[in-house]
Chain A
């Protein structure tokens, strides 16, 4: 059954789930098994649930999610690599009434954008950052990222990341949590239904922190990249559960989270 917003279901039926209004009705262009689709979906559900679809502004990064602006029915901007928090700052200072969300990968946020995210957090900028961490540069075909794990092989760490040669992975949540302007920082994952529900609660909380003018909020989402990890999705999800969380523990790092 196809349900269009213009028509109501018969009285004998209730809609219990549907595509969020703010999620565009077009197929995603992400790889099979990519968790961007899940994260887009839960972000859109949160925007709808909070009733802020008509004042949401999404800022797309450079990376696989560069086309995120296509997938949301709201005002959007496409920012230079790493600069989304600064672009978001410009938008929010002009229109404080908007709910401004950046959506960034680990290369975008933690490499080239490291200064922008730190300072947005330190300023307590009233924006929300969805930080998708899949430990590689996906769009550019699998190079080492700041969050690539030790021993992990990528196209620019072909022998496996070595601490002496390539240094250590970067932990963003822990770092941002030290800043007073950060009101809410949580790390989640989306590898199974319980974790997806937890991630949705975290994103909702992060948006509420912005709406309530409490400060800067960021949710780091440990994500899979089956394509460049060279693992099928189930194996990739397992690798997050067993390996990634050792380096990037889940939990709330700053601010009270709803359990």
Chain B
């Protein structure tokens, strides 16, 4: 695969190639549909860049291997789908508690439980409220196209290192499985920043380093927790991203993330032909959620339509942002069924009072 080209590829491959371009050199994975192409791609390509692919015995082991590699200063990654992300929660909590950088990709599927292997957005909660137990949460990025998936996965390693914190890429089955053209950049990522806190190597002239999340005295844990609170405030100031398209004077604000946002764009174009003015608000960082901008938009738009391929999870953040400023309606799609633009358009017209 040559770099600097535009290549027609599968989402899972784009994510993998993005990771390699982003400097990932250690991948620990486990098979689960619909993301199996990620460990398979990494198994083929990690050796090409002098990296390590290791298949773990479970997702529990995979995230623990990531912990060890991240503590040792490496750019490390794992990937999974809902059931595996659930297994990784304790490990993610340890990574947050020990302030270690890593990237985790979730290609979400139908749930709860074994669910199915169809596409779903029902991992929003576990991603944005997650990083397991305790006062941590994952910085979470939600790409809507393969180019964005490639670019964000690549950048995720810089973000993780900058904040010394796990970063999750929240995808879904349709994103991982679809094929689109992706403009690749060279695999010549700049060397990661120095990590004087890392363990490993021959120790000469430095104190011993420790990767740890245990602070038995509450007064000590409070200090560490406060550092995390400060970090999240910094992340919320610095990292918020979103995209807006559509009418400048909308009657309806449409809020959606990921692939569903693209279906919304098609629906909004249809509805516009019938005179419905709508504007799409697409969060790209779902944690930190773009609260301030959405709040401001909602002030002048009477109706907000939240479209999710789930029972409705992002809507919680929309409600927090919007409050009473706009009337919020949820359009949900359950079970891994796809949301069709025609159905969104019909709901949009209804919310706009045209039905």
User: What is A's interface to B at a CB cutoff of 8 Å?
Assistant: 54-55, 57, 59, 66-67, 69, 72-80, 83, 86-95, 97-98, 115-116, 118-119
Contacts and interface: CB of A to CB of B under 8 A. Distances in A.
A72 B211 CA distance: 14
11 contacts: A57-B199, A77-B210, A78-B214, A86-B61, A90-B26, A90-B64, A90-B66, A90-B70, A94-B69, A94-B72, A116-B61
A97 B65 contact: no
Contacts of B69: 90-91, 93-94
B64 to A, nearest CB: 4
Interface in B195-242: 199-204, 208-214
A55 B200 CA distance: 7
Nearest to A123: B54
A74 B201 CA distance: 11
A75 B206 CA distance: 10
Interface in B257-310: none
B344 interface: no
Question: Can you list the 9 inter-chain pairs with the closest CB atoms, starting with the nearest?
Answer: A90-B68, A86-B64, A95-B200, A83-B64, A90-B69, A75-B199, A94-B72, A87-B68, A90-B65
A57 B73 CA distance: 14
Contacts of B90: 80
Contacts of A80: 64, 67, 90-91, 94
B207 to A, nearest CB: 9
Given A77-B212, A90-B65, A91-B68, A55 B203 contact: yes
Q: A interface, by DSSP: helix, strand, loop or mixed?
A: helix
Contact of B76 (A79, A86, A90, A116): A90
A57 B200 contact: yes
Determine which residue in A69, A87, A88, A90 has the highest number of CB atoms from chain B within 10 A of its CB, and name it: A90
B124 interface: no
Contacts of A98: 200-201
Determine which residue in A87, A88, A115 has the highest number of CB atoms from chain B within 10 A of its CB, and name it: A87
B28 interface: yes
B199 A77 contact: yes
B72 A54 contact: no
Given A77-B211, A115-B61, 17 more contacts: A76-B199, A76-B210, A76-B211, A78-B210, A78-B211, A78-B214, A79-B64, A79-B67, A80-B67, A83-B64, A86-B61, A86-B64, A87-B65, A89-B68, A90-B28, A90-B69, A93-B69
B54 A93 contact: yes
B57 interface: yes
Nearest to A73: B208
Nearest to B75: A94
Interface string B71-88: 111101000000000000
Interface residues of B, number: 39
Contacts, number: 126
Interface of B: 26, 28, 52, 54, 56-58, 60-62, 64-74, 76, 90-91, 94, 98, 199-204, 208-214
B64 A78 contact: no
Contact of A78 (B52, B56, B212): B212
Nearest to A122: B57
B114 to A, nearest CB: 20
A75 B200 contact: yes
Contacts of B204: 54
A94 B73 contact: yes
Determine which residue in B94, B199, B212 has the highest number of CB atoms from chain A within 10 A of its CB, and name it: B199
A196 B66 CA distance: 36
B199 A89 contact: no
A87 B210 contact: no
A86 B214 contact: no
B72 A91 contact: yes
Nearest to A119: B57
A94 B74 contact: yes
Contacts of A87: 64-65, 67-68, 71
A226 B214 CA distance: 26
Determine which residue in B58, B62, B211 has the highest number of CB atoms from chain A within 10 A of its CB, and name it: B211
Contacts of A79: 64, 67-68, 94
A115 to B, nearest CB: 5
Contacts of A88: 68
A178 B158 CA distance: 43
Contact of A86 (B56, B98, B203): B56
Contacts of B70: 90
Contacts of A94: 26, 52, 68-69, 72-74, 76, 200
A86 B73 CA distance: 16
A90 B72 contact: yes
Nearest to B202: A55
Contact of B57 (A74, A97, A115): A115
B64 A115 contact: no
A76 B208 contact: yes
Nearest to A78: B212
A115 B213 CA distance: 23
A118 to B, nearest CB: 8
